[in-house]
A = this chain, B = another copy of it.
């Protein structure tokens, strides 16, 4: 249901051609176009003022491409997470300007590049191996209209490198911190700044890291009070929440 259809409906209501109840009913039912395997909710973008998001995990390349194609009829900006080269190729058939980010598997169609927030989001990561998650956070935050300052490889075992970036950290309005292993970086960053810190545990590590559990527990128990946490490897979630805060 595009804007023109919406205006038409409202005029019919004003004119009495359609009753209020019928109008409500149509509004309620129209936005769901049934693709057989997934209901697409175009209202979601309006409701949350955001680009369309397609979670790639557990969907076939064909399902993803079909959903993306449908969304592109209405949406300017689309973000697909956890996809791959093959999906990117399929998407580029309908959107040749789609970017593909191989480290994180993200695909982005980014046509409306308006900045929607005054502040800056710093996306910090502890080590080289955490970059894929940080990239997902950055790609997300950018497509949601934010300026992003990426600060990589500043883990707590070399605390002076973190200290050297203190200025950039204090200039951010909200910070996303991605770290695996012991997950200590959000606590250290959180103690240096006064803004909200979104901690993203990564599954980087081995042995008793238990695929990110150690980092997750560490972040949940942070002694810095300005830290809240999203799921393991959920760079998207980190970038999404940070964007909402930056707009707030």
Number of A residues contacting the other chain (C-beta, 8 Å)?
92
A232 touches B206 (CB 8 A): yes
Which chain B positions have C-beta within 8 A of A206? 57, 231-234
A217 near B223 with CB under 8 A, answer no
Task: Return A241 CB to nearest CB of chain B, in Å.
Answer: 5
A147 at interface by CB-CB < 8 Å: no
Q: A206-B234, A207-B231 are in contact. List 7 more A-B contacts (CB 8 A).
A: A37-B153, A38-B127, A57-B129, A58-B129, A206-B231, A207-B212, A226-B241
Chain A contacts with B in 92-138, Cβ cutoff 8 A: 119, 126-129, 131
For residue A69, CB closer than 8 A to chain B, the reply is no
The answer, yes or no, to whether A203 is at the interface (CB within 8 Å) is yes
Of the listed residues A208, A230, A236, the one surrounded by the most CB atoms of chain B closer than 10 A to its CB is A208
Contact B229 A195 (CB under 8 A): no
**Are A187 and B223 in contact (CB-based, < 8 A)?**
no
List CB contacts (< 8 Å) of A34-73 with chain B: 37-39, 41, 44, 47-50, 53, 57-59, 63
| Residue A159 is within 8 A (CB to CB) of chain B in the complex | yes
Given A208-B216, A226-B244 in contact, is the A158-B128 Cβ separation under 8 Å? no
Of residues 222 through 245 on chain A, the ones whose CB sits less than 8 Å from some CB of chain B are 222-234, 236-237, 240-241, 244-245
A13 to chain B, nearest CB (A): 15
**A5 contacts the other chain (CB 8 A):** no
- A11 adjacent to chain B (CB < 8 Å): no
Nearest chain B CB to A48's CB is how many angstroms away?
Answer: 4
Contact of A187 among B57, B182, B208 (CB under 8 A): B182
Residues of B contacting A210 in the complex (Cβ-Cβ under 8 angstroms): 217
**Distance A89 CA – B125 CA, assembled complex (angstroms):** 30
A203 touches B194 (CB 8 A): no
CB of B196 within 8 A of CB of A248, answer: yes
Residues of B within 8 A of A146 (CB): none
Q: For chain A residues 137-189, which have a beta carbon within 8 Å of chain B?
A: 152-161, 163-164, 173-174, 180-184, 187-188
- Give the docked Cα–Cα distance between A57 and B129 (Å): 8
Asked if A9 is at the interface of the complex by the 8 Å CB criterion, the answer is no
A156-B187 in contact given A48-B194, A207-B232, A228-B241 (Cβ < 8 Å)? yes
